[in-house]
């Protein structure tokens, strides 16, 4: 099934049963009753709503959806405490999922189906959260300006040959923090700090903007390399906007560290909230997210890789090429976050 057909399938099924709220509504909006599940999502409405509608169509369970910024939603869960209506918390990056666990806003939600479907490295060992989609944080190079034979590893990006040639967003971004946290695990804190100092010297410009901005800067000639998550590139590549397609056509994904640990991967994920009132329905929704149908939709529409083995990689992702992925247990990204942030500060990564 092609991308447009798949999207149409989800969008046309069961939309009446889903209450979607872009702003944060008062707690009183949500009643405590059977037949529903309340979701706080840091994922934008368009990236999750059709799947929730499909869940309602199949189960009859109504989904109340609140979307917002990841950190704001986490803070809301903390402030609401036992009065929170939320049953599920959906957010991006294992580092943020770890923060939610440490903040005490999640609970263990054991499910044999989830434990069997999702590899151990992509979920919390105690069952507080589960990865639902994967993305690689990799290197993109400009055609004609970089010979791919010059590229090899993340570590090599600190080499002086890349001076003034690298674009990357700021150190306060969780995606960069998790990349650095993975390196702390792989090569140790002192070597990672030395690497970060070398990387900073090679920046083409002071870090600013998001991942798409780094890709645009590379395509515009500001830099020769950009570090970004794959789904940002996928959005440009598969856009209906010809100017975005033209931008993407100037760039190529390179998969680093293929002779050792593999490219850095991360997840979007979900966990049952500590004070959930509709736990059974929340677990049913998480299990639905791991179905072949949902995983295929995620991959097609969100340009992200499935977490469930055996789900076919769609053409829009396969076009970026095959790669070996780092199989680090993602909970370590959260555990190493403090060390990563501190060394990035010492390295002068603004």
- Torsion angle, CA of 119/123/127/133, rounded to 10 degrees? -100
> What is the per-residue DSSP string for 240-282?
S-HHHHHHHTTEEEE---TTTT-BEEEEEEEEEBTT-S-HHHH
d(CA 264, CA 256) in angstroms, rounded, equals 8
- The helix/strand/coil state of 129 is coil
pLDDT recorded at residue 110:
75
The pTM of the full predicted model, rounded to 2 decimals, is 0.88
Helix (H, G, I), strand (E, B) or coil at 13: coil
Q: What is the pLDDT of residue 196?
A: 98
Q: How many residues does the chain have?
A: 350
Task: Tell me what pLDDT residue 317 has.
Answer: 84
Are 18 and 60 in contact by the 8 Å Cβ rule? The answer is no
State residue 298's pLDDT score: 86
How many CA atoms lie less than 13 Å away from 306 in the CB half-sphere?
19
**Which residue in the block uniquely carries the two structure tokens 């990387």?**
199
> In angstroms, how far is CA 75 from the centroid of its own chain?
19
Using DSSP's 3-state secondary structure scheme, residue 137 falls into: strand
Determine the 3-state secondary structure of 228 from DSSP: strand
Cα–Cα distance for residue pair 77/133, rounded to 1 Å: 23
Cα separation, 56 vs 153, whole angstroms = 44
Task: State the Cα–Cα distance between residues 271 and 278, nearest whole angstrom.
Answer: 13
Q: What is the pLDDT along the chain (350 residues), one digit of tens a residue?
A: 444 444 444 333 333 334 444 334 443 344 445 699 999 999 888 889 999 999 999 999 999 999 999 999 999 999 999 999 999 999 999 999 999 999 999 999 878 999 999 999 999 999 999 999 999 999 999 999 999 999 999 999 999 999 999 999 999 999 999 999 999 999 999 999 999 999 999 999 999 999 999 999 999 999 999 999 999 999 999 899 999 999 999 999 999 999 999 999 999 999 999 999 999 999 999 999 999 999 999 888 889 999 999 898 878 788 899 999 999 999 999 999 999 999 999 999 99
The predicted structure's pLDDT at residue 72: 96
Residue 314 is encoded by which pair of tokens? 């769609």
Distance, CA of 25 to CA of 4 (rounded, Å)? 32
- Determine the Cα–Cα distance for residues 313 and 292; give it in Å rounded to an integer: 11
How many other CB atoms sit within 10 Å of the CB of residue 139?
Answer: 25
Q: What are phi and psi of 278, to 5 degrees?
A: -120, 60
Strand, coil or helix: 197: helix
Would you state the pLDDT for residue 291? 93
Q: Measured in Å, how far apart are the chain's first and last C-alpha atoms?
A: 44
List the beta bridge partners of residue 265. Answer: 136
Task: Please report the pLDDT score of residue 55 as a whole number.
Answer: 96
CATH topology of domain 136-264+322-346: D-Maltodextrin-Binding Protein; domain 2 (3.40.190)
CA–CA distance, 253 with 230 (Å, rounded to integer): 8
DSSP state at residue 207: -
Can you give the residue ranges of every domain in the chain? 3-134+267-318, 136-264+322-346
Work out the angle at residue 116's Cα, subtended by the Cα atoms of residues 122 and 326, and round it to the nearest 5 degrees.
Answer: 25
- In CATH, the number for domain 3-134+267-318 is 3.40.190.10
């Amino acid at each position: 099934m092609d991308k447009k057909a798949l999207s149409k399938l989800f969008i046309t099924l069961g939309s009446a049963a889903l209450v979607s709220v872009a702003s944060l509504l008062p707690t009183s909006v949500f009643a405590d009753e059977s037949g529903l599940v309340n979701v706080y999502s840091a994922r934008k409405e368009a990236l999750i709503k059709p799947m929730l509608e499909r869940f309602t169509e199949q189960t009859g369970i109504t989904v109340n959806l609140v979307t917002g910024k990841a950190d704001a939603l986490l803070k809301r869960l903390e402030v609401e405490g036992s009065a929170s209506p939320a049953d599920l918390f959906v957010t991006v990056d294992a580092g943020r999922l770890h923060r939610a666990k440490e903040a005490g806003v999640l609970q263990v939600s054991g499910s044999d189906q989830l434990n069997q479907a999702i590899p151990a490295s992509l979920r919390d060992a105690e069952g507080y959260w589960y990865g639902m989609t994967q993305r690689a944080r990799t290197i993109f190079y400009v055609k004609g300006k970089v010979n791919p034979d010059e590229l090899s590893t993340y570590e090599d990006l600190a080499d002086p040959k890349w001076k003034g040639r690298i674009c990357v967003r700021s150190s306060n971004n969780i995606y960069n923090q998790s990349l650095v946290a993975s390196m702390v695990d792989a090569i140790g804190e002192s070597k990672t700090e030395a690497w970060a100092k070398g990387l900073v010297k090679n920046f083409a410009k002071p870090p600013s903007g998001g991942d798409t901005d780094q890709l645009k800067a590379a395509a515009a000639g500001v830099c020769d390399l950009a570090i970004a998550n794959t789904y940002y590139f996928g959005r440009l590549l598969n856009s209906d906007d010809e100017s975005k397609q033209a931008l993407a056509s100037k760039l190529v994904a390179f998969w680093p560290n293929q002779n050792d640990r593999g490219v850095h991967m991360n997840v979007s994920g979900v966990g049952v909230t500590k004070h959930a009132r509709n736990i059974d329905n929340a677990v049913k929704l998480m299990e639905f997210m791991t179905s072949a149908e949902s995983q295929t939709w995620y991959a097609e529409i969100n340009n992200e890789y499935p977490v469930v083995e055996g789900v076919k990689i769609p053409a829009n992702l396969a076009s970026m090429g095959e790669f070996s992925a780092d199989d680090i247990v993602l909970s370590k990204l959260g555990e190493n976050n403090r060390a990563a942030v501190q060394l990035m500060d010492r390295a002068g990564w603004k």
